[in-house]
Amino acid sequence: MSENPNSYFGKCLLTKVSNFYKDPTKSEAEGIATNGVVEAEKVQVIHYPDCQQLVFHMPKYAYDAGSYQLIDDVTGAIMEDLQVKDRLNGGTMMLIDTLPYKPGSYTIEASWPDGWTHQIRFIKLMEGFSNVESTSIPSNDQLVIKGSEYLLQHSYKPETASIKLPRDPVTGFLAPRSFTSRSIKKQGVSTPAVTYTQDGRGGKIFYRNSEIAIDFDWEFAAGNAVVLFLIPEEKYWEIQTKTPLSRRDEILSFVANQVIKDQAPGCRFEVYSNHITIIR
């Protein structure tokens, strides 16, 4: 796949995750207690043929957090200078499209009003690096070269967990739509299963059915909304899930209804282009 002026298909390599105050007189312990940390093993870089994303969660509800900056490590130039809320996808998830970034070395800094900073450093490789067999390529480079998904360290294994009701608000998204009976066609497959993990204000929903395995990130919502979970948009569904688009509505409907049955009896769900919200 070739590059165009707005897309650079080289993969990303995570190099370091840090949490600190830039002011050395402030207490690190206080920063951790007040704001929490972004853990290295929970920062993800996901690669697909026409899409790549860097994903991590702020430790707590972050709509009122501070600045977000993308820095070119070579020149020191600030390439993006925004607020954390401008990069939020929900209440805690930071979802960053890295496809427009040219090959180079970068730093992301997401800060809180008191100056506590989460720093993520990564390298955007040249497209195709490396196509040559070499025993000297570092193991973390090999992971990026060979895999579609890369974490700085191994993540935890799925365990069933309960979802607790939230208190903090979350911003809105695009208008919802409904599934129709025509769009949901049973395929005669084995009985699917849905399990959950929880880590702070979010976690994972795991859908398993025979050879199909799909994971969804969820996080707390508020008001009439209990939780929301992210779903691949239609144009990315087959690439990200390795499942036919014709199965999308059936799978999402099953997952949403199972979440309601297991975690939020009496609720209903609304479907958006990139997430589903469970509503009281």
- Mean pLDDT value of segment 176-180: 57
162 in any annotated domain:
no
Least confident piece of the model among 49-63, 90-104, 148-162, 261-275: 148-162
Q: pLDDT of 8-19, one tens digit each?
A: 989 899 999 999
Q: pLDDT of 32-55, one tens digit each?
A: 999 999 999 889 888 877 778 899
Boundary residue ending a domain (151, 183, 213): 151
Q: Is the pLDDT of residue 246 over 90?
A: yes
Query: How far is it, in rounded angstroms, from Cα 251 to Cα 207?
Result: 8
168 in any annotated domain:
no
- Mean pLDDT value of segment 261-268: 93
User: Burial level of 277, CB count in 10 A (0-12/13-18/19+)?
Assistant: buried
Question: CA torsion, points 70, 76, 81, 84, in degrees to nearest 10?
Answer: 40
Full-model pTM: 0.61
The amino acid occupying position 261 is K
Structural domain span for residue 214? 193-279
Residue 193: strand, helix, or coil: strand
The string of DSSP codes covering 213-265 is EEEEEEEE--TTEEEEEE---HHHHHHHHSS-GGGHHHHHHHHHHHHHHHH-T
> Same domain, yes or no, for 137 and 24?
yes
Q: Is the pLDDT of residue 182 over 70?
A: no
> Same domain, yes or no, for 70 and 134?
yes
78 in any annotated domain:
yes
> Same domain, yes or no, for 67 and 145?
yes
> Same domain, yes or no, for 27 and 97?
yes
39 in any annotated domain:
yes
215 in any annotated domain:
yes
Question: Please, which residues bridge with residue 225 across strands?
Answer: 279
- Mean pLDDT value of segment 62-72: 95
Q: Is the pLDDT of residue 217 over 60?
A: yes
Question: CA torsion, points 112, 113, 116, 117, in degrees to nearest 10?
Answer: 50
101 in any annotated domain:
yes
254 in any annotated domain:
yes
> Same domain, yes or no, for 121 and 31?
yes
188 in any annotated domain:
no
